[in-house]
Amino acid sequence: MIDNTLIFPVIVHLFTAIVLLFFWRKTVAQRIISIAGSLIAMLLAVRLFTMVWNDGIRTMQAAGWDAPFGITFVADVFSSMMVLLTAFSGVAVSTYSATGVARGRMLYGYFPIFHLLLMGLNGAFLTGDIFNLYVWFEVIIIASFVFMTLGGRKAQIEGAVKYMAMNILASTFFLTGIAILYGITGTLNMADLSLKIGALENRKLVDITAIFFIIGFGIKSAVFPLYFWLPSSYHTPPSAVAAVFGGLLTKVGIYALFRMFTLIFIPDDFLTTLLVVLAIFTIITGTFGAVIKNNIRRVFSYLIVCHIGFMVGGLGMYSEIALTGALLYLFHDIMVKTNIFLIAGLIRKLRGTMNMDKLGGLYKEYPLLSLVIALVLFSLVGVPPLSGFWPKIYLFEAGFIDAQYALLAAIIVGSFATLYVIAKLWAKVFWKDQPELPDGESLRDEFKPLNRFRKSLLVAPIVFLAAITLYIGLAAENITAVAQHIAHEMKDVSPYIEAVLGPNVSP
């Protein structure tokens, strides 16, 4: 069936970017177009999700070449959910950027690049072809390089060099893995690969190929021992950019891991053990980093690493319950991580610094705003009944069933460390009084002089994302139903394969 609708989220961002290029020097028009483009994309994403949720998996064969020869685009519940969450973040970040990003950056193409990045993300979520996935990853990293260096401060260039080096390495591993896969199976279509890999006799070869993908995606999503580039590069770009990076970019790696290891490589004991061990170390190292750092954004960067471990651990346990937990965590994490970086940016606007030792007294000055922020922070910690709590229940349950006590211990340590860090942050930044600053330093408040409209543009996205987080927490049964559905699809991939290749191919 010819069905172009599923590619619309990609197209919208492409056209928004092109239209934005026509308004290269006109920053006001750019802001309006960007927000409008993101809103349209969000509507389309909602439509795509409801369609997939009601009618099942949708596919599109690009240019009419049938799978497995042409490039297939597939929207199952997992990918359309990711597109939906991306669209929410996109709306929030482009609204925030309208005042949160310096005019100089907008003059050098901030918004077009932002939309190309979102296009790449949506493409990566929707593609059903592994080489096409690689191409979308390239689109993403090219856009993100520009994003990181935009502004040209020395620290930014330094962060970008690390980021670029690691990502090129990751891409090389990924590409090598694809080459080997193509060599042993002769196909690049994910559904077709799933069938052919399953039929292969030489399991050792499959394991080794899988390791290429673990390394490639592991670097991108900052899994131990390849995480160190993330904290050292994510604190350099402006907060709106860091929000996209922290919320979405590492999660593409996670998405790809989930896709690869549920559809193509069905993990055997070796791979699951490997993933669990990696997850444990990721959690522990991320925790240590988060506990000792003092700059808010660096703390958040290490928390990303720590929480990536939760998801990889869920994948490693590989039971339906564990996958449900990991997916729930993924959904919750995208919303919350995007939001906390926006919050970090807002704190910087309010006070001109992100060093916790120099901050204080925000609660006294902005009680309502602080409550919203508290809601987000406590969701991150996982205080029941907020959104971080439910996935952990599933992860614990799965851990007890599978007797993965080391991973359980790591998750508990990670959770408590998150609690400690967030409590410290809350106490220092919001509760305690504004500390005395050393001589010669003063706080710069960029928030006060803004007019009401611009203030609301900064605060509205945070409230919007907080509302979604609250929804995930309070209406957990809806989200859990989605996650369970996806986990079920992951365990039984035949609907996916049938949707792509036609009804008569399943083994």
Which of 15, 131, 228, 420 is in the footprint of another protein by CB under 8 A? 15
Of 375, 411, 419, give the one whose Cα is nearest residue 395.
Answer: 411
State yes or no: residue 4 binds another protein (CB under 8 A): yes
State yes or no: residue 21 binds another protein (CB under 8 A): yes
Which of 18, 32, 102, 475 is in the footprint of another protein by CB under 8 A? 18
Dihedrals phi, psi of 423, to nearest 5 degrees: -65, -40
State yes or no: residue 22 binds another protein (CB under 8 A): yes
Q: Which residues contact 336 (CB under 8 A, 6 or more apart)?
A: 376, 379, 380, 387, 388, 465, 469
Give a three-class secondary structure readout of 107-123.
HCCHHHHHHHHHHHHHH
At how many degrees (to 10) do helices 389-402 and 476-491 cross? Answer: 40
Of residues 60 and 143, the one with the C-beta less far from another protein: 60
State yes or no: residue 14 binds another protein (CB under 8 A): yes
Given the rule CB under 8 A, which of 6-14, 43-51, 238-246, 256-264 is the region that contacts another protein?
6-14
Which of 2, 199, 368, 403 is in the footprint of another protein by CB under 8 A? 2
Of residues 59 and 379, the one with the C-beta less far from another protein: 59
State yes or no: residue 60 binds another protein (CB under 8 A): yes
> Helix, strand, coil: what percent of the chain each, to 5?
80, 5, 20
Which of 62, 161, 211, 505 is in the footprint of another protein by CB under 8 A? 62
Of 323, 359, 374, give the one whose Cα is nearest residue 492.
Answer: 323
Of 271, 484, 469, give the one whose Cα is nearest residue 398.
Answer: 484
Max Cα-Cα span within the chain:
76
Shortest CB 241 distance to another protein, Å = 22
Locate all alpha helices (DSSP H) within 366-451, ordered by sequence: 367-381, 389-402, 405-425
Given the rule CB under 8 A, which of 58-66, 230-238, 339-347, 498-506 is the region that contacts another protein?
58-66
State yes or no: residue 51 binds another protein (CB under 8 A): no
State yes or no: residue 61 binds another protein (CB under 8 A): yes
Shortest CB 64 distance to another protein, Å = 5
Which of 55, 63, 204, 438 is in the footprint of another protein by CB under 8 A? 63
One-letter amino acid for residue 36 of the chain: A
Residue 285 to residues 40, 55, 163, 193, Cα–Cα distance (Å) = 40, 43, 19, 35
Shortest CB 8 distance to another protein, Å = 10
State yes or no: residue 119 binds another protein (CB under 8 A): no
State yes or no: residue 126 binds another protein (CB under 8 A): no
Of residues 1 and 199, the one with the C-beta less far from another protein: 1
Shortest CB 63 distance to another protein, Å = 4
CB 321, CB 402: distance < 8 Å:
no
DSSP string, 252-314: HHHHHHHHIIIII----HHHHHHHHHHHHHHHHHHHHHHHH--BHHHHHHHHHHHHHHHHHHH
Given the rule CB under 8 A, which of 21-29, 293-301, 360-368, 434-442 is the region that contacts another protein?
21-29
Q: How many residues bind another protein (CB under 8 A)?
A: 16
CB 234, CB 240: distance < 8 Å:
no
Shortest CB 283 distance to another protein, Å = 42
Give contact residues for another protein (rule: CB under 8 A).
2, 4, 7, 11, 14-15, 18-19, 21-22, 24, 60-64
